Structure 1
């Protein structure tokens, strides 16, 4: 089957397709999108209910994605252990359904001594997930591989500071203006998380960028 006139969600995917077929494809990029206004219509009462229902702390980092190997949750847990050794406890909420790796991640959390610091939620409604984005202090996306990354758009729509794996597709989505880390280096990931949570100027710049992104989405919509 010819790949001419097919569409992909990122330039990164087009490059990968060309590598696989030896080049010469005529593929256009149509980026995935979402309605940013969905993240602006959650009232304070609903946010409070969500916090109380799941006993969430006042401040927490958020990761969203199913439990599978490429999501790289063990390295994320290791980075929190590094931060804990520095005296910097970062509560983490992971939202995702089980794709075969949840038990391994839970065992890793327990082994790292972070059971009281890391929470896992599955089977949430879309509105509940949006509540989590609105409430989190930081969004972390540690994947080793993605063709795109809808959770990144969701975090941007919610105007949350973001730290990401240093993947070409993530730099493409965020236009190279987020904080990136080596996916296999827990120390580097810890440094990025600490920077995003403690550097007020950096956080302000990121949040302003998310606001501009949200305005662009609303114009498109």
Structure 2
């Protein structure tokens, strides 16, 4: 079996989608499946990760030749807004486009049950839930970097942290306000700023953040974030899954999330804390509880155990089964 595993705009798209594609290819390597990263119809399966115009063109050609098309549903109109400049304006027309584009596939891969529920409102194309997974090997040795990264960004324990692109949708306003409400705790957001791509409100939130709130920008070794951070705080308003969350769990960090449907699989008080209700107060209360090292250790240990089900080794066979199911 040969797979055309195509990621349109691969040189330009970063963040969770890029990480997911890297994980998929690592899993294909584990499975010993032959694949090319070029779009081609000389394959048994055409698998696309971003339904741009070139992917759509190949998908239509593939179907006309009887080659099954698999597509990942990384992008939804729901999570497109409050990301970068102009994304709010594009979110509304994006939905009918995605309905059409995803409808060209023979099978859709959804990273979570929440995402699957959204996509089933777009198209009747069959869906399968397969996690983006977590590359545990990428985190090996992270704890050895603690002193270096705490010193680099002047962080003291317990540091509240987040990893990923700094965008409003991921709870930027809440993160900054938490730092303002808890001035004796350090807050650090590790990830690209890309201020030229941000709207005015996002830029102002970053520039007017209190002194105990650090935005590191891109860092060369992401392990440093998990080394320097103590409490992974993820106040995102909309998420398809959250690879950084899985990484934090794999690193044994206690996690605090907004109580949204995406995270329904997490158990409040067992492998995370959830902030329910309006405003920033529930997050403040949870962080006050997480000052307790014993609670942090218990939640972090449980999170690490829970993350094992999302390892690339655990997820890989689901792709093998999907490819087998769609090929004649």
TM tier, shorter chain?
0.7 to 0.9
Q: Is the 8 Å Cα contact of residues 253 and 301 (structure 2) preserved in structure 1?
A: no
Pairwise CA RMSD: 2.5
Provide Cα deviations, 1:106-133, integer angstroms capped at 9, x if missing partner: 2341xxxx22x111111212x2x21221
Q: Is the 8 Å Cα contact of residues 155 and 186 (structure 2) preserved in structure 1?
A: no
1:93-104 to structure 2, matched below 5 A, reads 93-97=188-192, 98=194, 99-100=197-198, 103-104=203-204
1:49-198 to structure 2, matched below 5 A, reads 49-84=148-183, 89-97=184-192, 98=194, 99-100=197-198, 103-109=203-209, 114-115=210-211, 117-125=212-220, 127=221, 129-172=222-265, 174=266, 177-182=271-276, 184-198=278-292
Deviation of residue 184 (structure 1)? Answer: 4.4
Instruction: With the length of structure 2 as denominator, give the TM-score of the two structures.
Output: 0.56
- Aligned mates of 2:175, 2:147 — CA distance in 1: 27
Deviation of residue 48 (structure 1)? Answer: 2.5
- Aligned mates of 1:49, 1:203 — CA distance in 2: 22
- Aligned mates of 1:58, 1:195 — CA distance in 2: 15
Structure index of larger Rg: 2
Q: Is the 8 Å Cα contact of residues 70 and 143 (structure 1) preserved in structure 2?
A: yes
- Aligned mates of 1:140, 1:43 — CA distance in 2: 19
Deviation of residue 36 (structure 1)? Answer: 1.3
2:139 corresponds in structure 1 to 39
- Aligned mates of 1:43, 1:118 — CA distance in 2: 22
| CA shift in 2, pair 1:71/1:214, >3 Å | closer
Q: Is 2:326 aligned against 1:210?
A: no
| CA shift in 2, pair 1:170/1:184, >3 Å | same
Instruction: With the length of structure 1 as denominator, give the TM-score of the two structures.
Output: 0.80
Provide Cα deviations, 1:48-69, integer angstroms capped at 9, x if missing partner: 3333333333431111222222
| CA shift in 2, pair 1:41/1:14, >3 Å | same
| CA shift in 2, pair 1:80/1:53, >3 Å | closer
Deviation of residue 183 (structure 1)? Answer: 7.3
Q: Is the 8 Å Cα contact of residues 276 and 282 (structure 2) preserved in structure 1?
A: yes
| CA shift in 2, pair 1:219/1:16, >3 Å | closer
Q: Is the 8 Å Cα contact of residues 163 and 191 (structure 2) preserved in structure 1?
A: yes
Gaps of 5+ in 2: 1-102, 317-328
Q: Is the 8 Å Cα contact of residues 179 and 196 (structure 1) preserved in structure 2?
A: no
